[in-house]
A and B are shown apart, each in its own frame.
Chain A
């Protein structure tokens, strides 16, 4: 199994600022993903983080708002840019272990925008 950590675990940010969330996996993974979980809701995929190339974004999410980097097979960052209170959510990173079957999640980053 893969162990995934995220930093920070939580943050309170001011409107208009940006926050970068880091995701670290303890082993090389083929795929990494970023999800958003709004309060009391299910998870929605933001984008697939591709190693060495631009991320693949889902409908409703754009690179200018959520720039993503993945410089290697164990690390990725998600930036939430020009934040507004509507961005208050839990942001989760996930990765697949050996084969696509096992999809593991980090503990999440709880973001509150005031």
Chain B
């Protein structure tokens, strides 16, 4: 079946790197996504990766995909207080997005 799992909380200090992890079960996923949701706001598409890639970098964001282990990670370099939010991992499979539970990132000054 389709299932996406994330740890619920992550706390880091400002300036450190943050790594948010995600595992998924459906090996036929074509795209994997990271979304950011700030309090009271909708979902912001941060980045996505095609399933035949193993890495994608976009400014402070690095996505790593281990397709064999069905593991996706999002690294945020030089984490700032403005990065505090909930981060959702999602996979595109069967014509729809399946979301993880979300990881709440707390950045302490």
On A, residues with C-beta under 8 Å from B are 1, 31, 33, 41-45, 48, 58, 92, 94, 100-108
Further pairs besides A42-B101, A45-B97, A94-B43: 9, Cβ < 8 Å: A1-B45, A33-B97, A43-B43, A43-B97, A101-B50, A103-B48, A103-B97, A105-B35, A107-B41
- 23 A-B pairs with CB atoms under 8 Å apart are A41-B101, A42-B99, A42-B100, A42-B102, A43-B43, A43-B99, A44-B99, A48-B96, A94-B43, A94-B97, A100-B31, A101-B48, A101-B50, A102-B48, A103-B33, A103-B48, A103-B90, A103-B92, A104-B45, A105-B35, A105-B43, A105-B44, A106-B42
With both chains docked as a complex, state the minimum distance between the C-beta of A46 and any C-beta of chain B, in angstroms: 11
Docked complex: B79-105 residues within 8 A CB-CB of A: 88, 90, 92, 95-97, 99-102
With both chains docked as a complex, state the minimum distance between the C-beta of B45 and any C-beta of chain A, in angstroms: 6
On B, residues with C-beta under 8 Å from A are 30-31, 33, 35, 41-45, 48, 50, 88, 90, 92, 95-97, 99-102
Q: Which residue of B lies closest to A44 (CB)?
A: B99
Q: Is the interface of B mostly helix, strand, loop or mixed?
A: strand
With both chains docked as a complex, state the minimum distance between the C-beta of A108 and any C-beta of chain B, in angstroms: 5
